[in-house]
């Protein structure tokens, strides 16, 4: 399964800019602080709350 580049999609309902939890996670992965598996696990949780699929209040 091809993975998308989550850092490239437009801002979600909550836009923290460069301080967003997803941006912080991306920087940690890029710096080698977490591995790819950990990145994708954490991203799936964050994307539900802060990403493009979130609704008002973070609930689905």
3 domain-assigned: no
Report how far residue 49's alpha carbon sits from residue 52's, in angstroms, rounded to the nearest whole number: 9
The pLDDT score that the predictor gives to residue 1 is: 46
Within-domain flag for 5: no
Domain count, the chain: 1
Query: Quick check: 6 pLDDT over 80?
Result: no
Is this model's pTM higher than 0.75 or not?
no
Return the pLDDT at 60. Answer: 44
Q: What is the pLDDT of residues 29-57, one digit of tens each?
A: 999 999 999 999 999 998 888 766 555 55
Residues ≥6 apart with Cβ < 8 Å to 33? none
Look at residue 8 and tell me if it is in a domain: no
Q: Which residue has the tokens 């992965």?
A: 29
List, for residues 11-29, the tens digit of each pLDDT value: 455 556 678 888 999 999 9
Look up the domain containing 39 and give its range: 17-58
């Amino acid at each position: 399964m091809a993975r998308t580049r989550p850092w490239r999609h437009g801002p979600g309902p909550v836009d923290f800019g460069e301080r967003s939890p997803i941006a912080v996670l991306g920087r940690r992965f890029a710096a080698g602080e977490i591995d790819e598996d950990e990145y994708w696990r954490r991203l799936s949780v964050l994307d539900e709350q802060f990403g493009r699929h979130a609704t008002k209040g973070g609930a689905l």
